[in-house]
Structure formats: C-alpha cells, structure tokens
Structure 1
C-alpha cells in the first residue's frame, strides 16, 4: 500500500532555490519532495510556503486540519525563518536590542503545540533537522544594500550567524526527543561532506539541486528502513 504524506514547512521543503542565471528565486522541479514521490510509492501533498515560521505553520495546519487524518505521516520542517532577524532595522540601529522572528523558547513551545495538533488529527508527525548555512555567503546576502558594518557590529563576528541558526536546529532535536517523534537528520548528511557549501545556493541558506538530491537520499533511506520494518 502506498504511503500518504503531507509536508508543512518553509521554502526549503517547498523546493525554492535561487537561480543564479535568472537572478531570482524559483521552484525546483526536482525538489526533494518531488524526487521522493517519483522514486517511491509515496503520495506527497506539499503545503509548505516561502517564508513560513512555526507560527504561520500553525495557521496553515488549522486551515488544512480536516485533511490531516487522510495522511499516514505529516512531515514538519521549521526553524530557518524563525531564527531570522529584521536586518534592515539592525542595519540602522545595531546597538538596539533586536529579537528574531520567533525567540527560541517560544519556537520550542509553538513547535510542541504544532506536533500535538498533528497527533490529535490521527496523522503521525515526523520532524526534519535544518540544512546548515554558509555564514559568509548568507552575511553577504542579507547585507546587500544595507550597512554591512553595522550588521557585523550587532553580530560580533560573521560566524555568529551559523551558531545562531544551529541553536534552532538543536531546538528541533530537543522538541523531537521530548515529544517522542521521529527525527530525520538532514544536517549531518550535509556536514559529512568536505565542502557542504557547494550544496547551497548563492544566498548561502537554500539547498541547491544537489542539496535536494542529498536530502531525498536521506529521506529515501528512512522510507526503505520503514518498509523493511513493517514488511
């Protein structure tokens, strides 16, 4: 019997990449979700949207609440936008206190609530960790047209962006453990590569086509193990 899966997340799970030739964001035809549905007997409905945070994800889930019971699994992928800042505001006021879109404590709380909602629907939640970012490329990206020196003053050092993003990745791992839900480790698959940065787009944060191929391989291994265990 084919598995049915729905996905809630941000632009990474949506399959958004930055096209360096066209100089704009586009949808990748061979995104990891599309590659999985084309390689396995899995029906995937992707509800992910560009820029989605865990708060917006909760609203999105409520909108599709009546559909969730139709899916064996609900894959959740959040954190990349939650940890983001208003860089334009930081550029103008680097010494002022600035909060991310979702402070990490609230992120964990809301993610836990989201997981519990999925469980109540009858579907089984599965979490994805976050692909790592390239701090140097991402810093160059977010500071375009802004005061890069002011942003760097706020950060302290460029690699702080990587560490901050990783805090949210660790939060995802904690939430998965505390809620006793499966976690598919995307992060390690990237970090095992000698130069994982080649798997990211020009913006330093979105996986490129090769990055999506890597993600689909990790998820594919999980599906094979699941099918073996239930055979």
Structure 2
C-alpha cells in the first residue's frame, strides 16, 4: 500500500532537501546553469502559503544530503550557499560542462540565501509542536556515472556515484533521522530524463561516444538505470511508511515529456517546474490541511 499523510494541521514551514532540480536550477539559452525564481519550490510555497527553507544543492547526492541535514538539525554550521555546492564532485556536476560560477548560478540582483517567501537559514518561524514537513528529492546524481572514466576505459567495471543498495540504505537512515527530530518526511520521485539528449550533452566536450556506447550497450540504458532509482524511492517510502509525491508520473502522462526538459535532457525547464508545482499542490490538497 502506498502511504498517504493523514489529514491534519502542519506547521506553516516546510523544509526541502535535494539536488539542483529542487534548487530550481535550469540550463539557460546561453548554456549556463542558473536557478530560476519560478522554481517549483517557490511557486508551490507561494500558492499554498507555506514558508520554505530550501537546503537543496547543485550536484547533491544522498550522502551529501545527509551531511546537509545533519548540519541543519544540529543548528551549529554556517549557512551553505548555492555556489559552495559547486565543489561537490558527485553526479552531473562532474561531467564536462560549461564553466560555472556563483554569479551565473544566482538570478540577477538576487541574494544567494534569501528569496521572497523562501528561507535558507536555520532559524524557525514556527516553534510550535505541530509536525513539520520535509520534502526530499534525491537520486538523479546518485545514479550518475563518471562518464570521463568510462570514455577512457570502457572495458572495466564502473560504479555509479551511489550504488542502489547504498542509496536505499542511506535514504532510510535520513528518513529515520528526520522523524526522530520531529519531521514528517515526504519523498519525491525523479522526473524522467531524455537519454539521447543527455548523452549528447555530457559527451559534447569530446568524450568518446563509441566507447561509452560500447559500455552502455544502448543509449536507453541511461533512461532505464535512472528509472530504477526513481522506482526504488517507492520501495523506500513503503519500507519506512513515508508518502511519495509521484513527480515522474506527471511528466510521463504528457504526450511529449521532453518539451518540459532543458537542452541537457535532465533538468526540468520552466514549464517543467510548473508541472511539478501542479503535482505538489494536488498532493497538498489531497493529504494536508491547507
């Protein structure tokens, strides 16, 4: 049985943990990654009237996410900015890409830590005993490979940033940690990627496509492997009695879901963020007192 939240009253503050998708990062027309103001987190929080603490970071895996959550719960670490996350070696941030800086990762004239109705500090607007919600979106970087290493040597074994077993185990530990600290976790499945578009993107700087394809077997293995991590999120939710928002389904119900993705084939574009927003709002209306 897929878990649902009981209809009850929650504190008016939501925490969001995840990777660049949760952070609202898109690939713009110039080929640079930058966060948009109209991210699903901003739009959903504004629509539902929640204060949002967004601790999502570019390139974040579940292991990095656990570190962020531990610091957040401990209240004893400095605020991590979006630009600091670029040093993280895991996931898509490791693939050859357009050089990124703190400047092109933040919207023009925007504070790196604060946006209207969005809070990224560790303070609390609501110290009541009401349950606090924590939305989590991990997996897209965990399932990714070191494509440069595969290109150089396609004949040896290569492991993803986080193996499936470790992903499930660490995700479960994170959920227990949040529960023990008074949070009600909510998981999010992964938006689907476009395998051909993503393959073209991460090999664009000169990686050996033939070598990588010989290791993959076929380019659609990228889609299937990514999908397997999204499917495991349902299993994790079942195992830990945590509800799941099926973001992936919202995309796959579209006749051409790729139009909701950026040129890199993996980040939702502005239309994609609106699609995610509608799914979250529907979830909130069905399972929360809003």
Give TM class, smaller chain. Answer: over 0.9
Q: Distance in 2 between matches of 1:195 and 1:17?
A: 19
Q: Give a deviation string over 1:58-106, Cα, whole Å, max 9, x none.
A: 1000110046895710111100000000000000000110000000011
Q: Distance in 2 between matches of 1:223 and 1:172?
A: 19
Q: Which has the higher contact order (CA 8 A, sep 6+)?
A: 2
Query: How do 1:186-225 and structure 2 match up within 5 A?
Result: 186-225=247-286
Report how many aligned residue pairs link the two structures. Answer: 228
Determine which structure has the larger helix proportion and give its number. Answer: 1
Question: Please, which of 16, 27, 44 is the counterpart of residue 25 of structure 2?
Answer: 16
Question: Please, which of 163, 171, 175 is the counterpart of residue 236 of structure 2?
Answer: 175
Q: Give a deviation string over 1:139-181, Cα, whole Å, max 9, x none.
A: 1111122101111111000000000001101111100111010
Q: Give a deviation string over 1:187-228, Cα, whole Å, max 9, x none.
A: 10000000000000000000000000000000011111234x
Q: Which residue in the other structure is 1:161 paired with?
A: 222
Q: Which residue in the other structure is 1:33 paired with?
A: 41
State the 4+ residue runs in structure 1 displaced beyond 3 angstroms.
66-71
Q: Distance in 2 between matches of 1:113 and 1:66?
A: 16
Query: How do 1:1-231 and structure 2 match up within 5 A?
Result: 3-20=12-29, 22-66=30-74, 72-144=132-204, 145-227=206-288, 230=289
Give yes or no for contact 1:200–1:206 (8 Å, CA) kept in 2: yes
Q: Distance in 1 between matches of 2:221 and 2:287?
A: 37
Gaps of 5+ in 2: 1-8, 76-121
TM-score by length of 1: 0.95
Gaps of 5+ in 1: none
Q: Distance in 1 between matches of 2:285 and 2:173?
A: 29
Give the root-mean-square deviation of aligned CA atoms.
Answer: 1.6
Q: Distance in 2 between matches of 1:64 and 1:46?
A: 11
TM-score by length of 2: 0.76
